[in-house]
Structure formats: C-alpha cells, structure tokens
C-alpha cells in the first residue's frame, strides 16, 4: 500500500511525502530540517528511508530546511537542471550535496518512477511531479502555478492521488492588505491558482476517475480551508459529483501532518 500526505503545506512552508514498503520520496522541504524530521518520525519514516528529495523550485517556502538537512543526511536532491543551478548559486544546498537533474525522461529513484512537468510560476524553472510507486500507484503533485496548462492537466489525469494547489480566495486577495503589485503577481499567469481555478481542474479530474484530491499550498493571508473546500463543493454540485462517494477531497493542514491517504 502506498501512502501520501503533506507534513506541512502553505505559504509558510511545503513538504509532501510518498511512501511504499518503507521507502519514501519527499517533495520539497520548506520548513526547518528539525521540524521536518519530527513530522517524518511521527509517520514512522527515518531520514535513511528517503530515496530522494524532489524540489519543485527554489522559493524559500520549498527549500528552507534543505541545507541543514543535507549536512546531516546524505539524500540525493532531484530537480530540473535550472533549479539545481539556482539552488547551488544561492547556496541553498551544501557544496557536497548530490544534485541530479530530472529533465525529460522518467527516471528511477529508489524504485519509484519519477517524471517532472513544467508549471507556470515566477521561479527559475518550476516543475510539478508525477510519481509511480514500485507497485504502480501514482501521485501527481503541482503546487505553484499561475494556471493549469494542458501539459499540467495531462500529467494530473488518471493519478491515484492528486495534490494540487488552491492558493487564494479572489475576494480575500483583492480586499486584503497586500500591496497592489503583489496582488497582481499572485493572480498572474506566473503566480498561483485561486480556489475556483483549482476546483475546476479538480472537477475534471474526478470526472475522469480520480478518487483522492489533496488541496495544497493555501495562503495564510488570502485563503481559508473552508473557502477552498466550498469552491470544490460548488463545482461538484454543478457537475453532479457526490463528494465522499465519488472521491475524497481534503484541504492540507498548514503546520501539521494532514490525514494520510493510502491507496
């Protein structure tokens, strides 16, 4: 059985784990190494069980814990070549870190089949990941994207578990205290997904058979879990989808481990 959850998720830090039979991959590490290790231990996962850390992009909410963690544990880091270059240039990883590019083909990481796909975001070269477990269960994760491109959608389809960002509520963002330029940046094609955009993508995925949806990377300033879930409920209602029966949708917790999804 494969297990997926987020250790923490949101603008204050992101980390997800996909595990099967004692081997695990992490996606990002945006809070401290200590906090990440404590959460992993709660799930019964030791640093030695990690086959790799996949990095989506170099923003601090995705890599803040990486440098300290890698000083104490030898775990290879996977990302696009441009992202790896950026991690090295900004000294976000120690010089001794093992950095392996994942551009192009599906590669084998500790028995997991991993492929990266580009997402539209204001980073050097942001990517999401589609991961097949050794026993063939699939996770697709896309957490920082200004819009859902056809390529992103193609990578999310028919995954057993989809983790998709639902970053902001349009009304909260527009009436909130962020300066205008930042509001524009977040809402742009290189920013983040709003709840309605995420709900529309989720609806299509559930209509094609996805049973497990994890709404991720909710903004602390511009969103609430209830609003993200409400957008999905409204989209499902219009499409005639029955939540809990046709699929399980959860909003990820900001600081805690979210309920584990096992497939």
The site for Zn ion (CB under 5 A) is made up of 59, 61, 144
**Least distance in Å: CB of 187 to Zn ion?**
14
User: Using CA atoms, how far apart are residues 126 and 145, in angstroms rounded to an integer?
Assistant: 8
User: Using CA atoms, how far apart are residues 142 and 145, in angstroms rounded to an integer?
Assistant: 7
2 or 156: CB nearest Zn ion: 156
102 or 193: CB nearest Zn ion: 193
**Least distance in Å: CB of 210 to Zn ion?**
23
132 or 173: CB nearest Zn ion: 173
Provide the CB-side half-sphere exposure for 113 (13 A, CA): 8
Provide the CB-side half-sphere exposure for 16 (13 A, CA): 30
61 or 197: CB nearest Zn ion: 61
Helix (H) or strand (E) segment spanning residue 93: none
Q: Nearest residue to Zn ion, using CB?
A: 59
- CB of 25 closer than 8 Å to CB of 73: no
**Least distance in Å: CB of 8 to Zn ion?**
12
**Least distance in Å: CB of 40 to Zn ion?**
20
Alpha-helical regions (H) of the chain: 33-42, 60-63, 66-72, 81-89, 150-156, 170-175, 180-187, 195-207, 225-239
20 or 144: CB nearest Zn ion: 144
**Least distance in Å: CB of 9 to Zn ion?**
10
User: What spatial distance separates the first Cα and last Cα of the chain, rounded to whole Å?
Assistant: 6
């Amino acid at each position: 059985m494969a297990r997926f959850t987020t250790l923490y998720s949101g603008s204050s830090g992101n980390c997800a784990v996909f595990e099967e039979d004692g081997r695990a991959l992490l996606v990002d590490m945006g809070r401290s190494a200590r906090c990440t290790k404590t959460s992993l231990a709660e799930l019964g996962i030791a640093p030695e069980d990690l086959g790799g850390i996949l990095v989506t992009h170099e923003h601090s909410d995705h890599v803040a814990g990486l440098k300290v963690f890698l000083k104490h544990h030898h775990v290879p880091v996977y990302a696009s070549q441009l992202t790896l270059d950026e991690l090295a240039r900004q000294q976000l990883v120690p010089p001794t870190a093992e950095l392996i590019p994942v551009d192009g083909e599906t590669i084998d990481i500790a028995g997991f089949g991993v492929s990266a796909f580009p997402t539209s975001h204001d980073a050097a070269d942001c990517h999401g990941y589609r991961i097949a477990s050794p026993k063939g269960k699939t996770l697709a994760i896309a957490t920082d994207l200004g819009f859902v491109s056809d390529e992103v959608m193609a990578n999310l389809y028919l995954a057993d578990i989809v983790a998709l960002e639902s970053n902001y509520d349009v009304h909260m963002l527009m009436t909130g205290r962020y300066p205008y330029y930042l509001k524009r940046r977040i809402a742009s094609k290189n920013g983040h997904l709003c709840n309605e955009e995420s709900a529309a993508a989720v609806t299509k995925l559930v209509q094609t058979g996805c049973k497990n949806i994890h709404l991720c990377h909710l903004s602390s300033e511009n969103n609430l879990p209830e609003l993200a879930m409400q957008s999905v409920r409204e989209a499902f209602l219009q499409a005639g989808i029955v939540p809990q029966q046709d699929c399980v949708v959860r909003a990820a917790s900001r600081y805690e481990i979210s309920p584990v999804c096992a497939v």
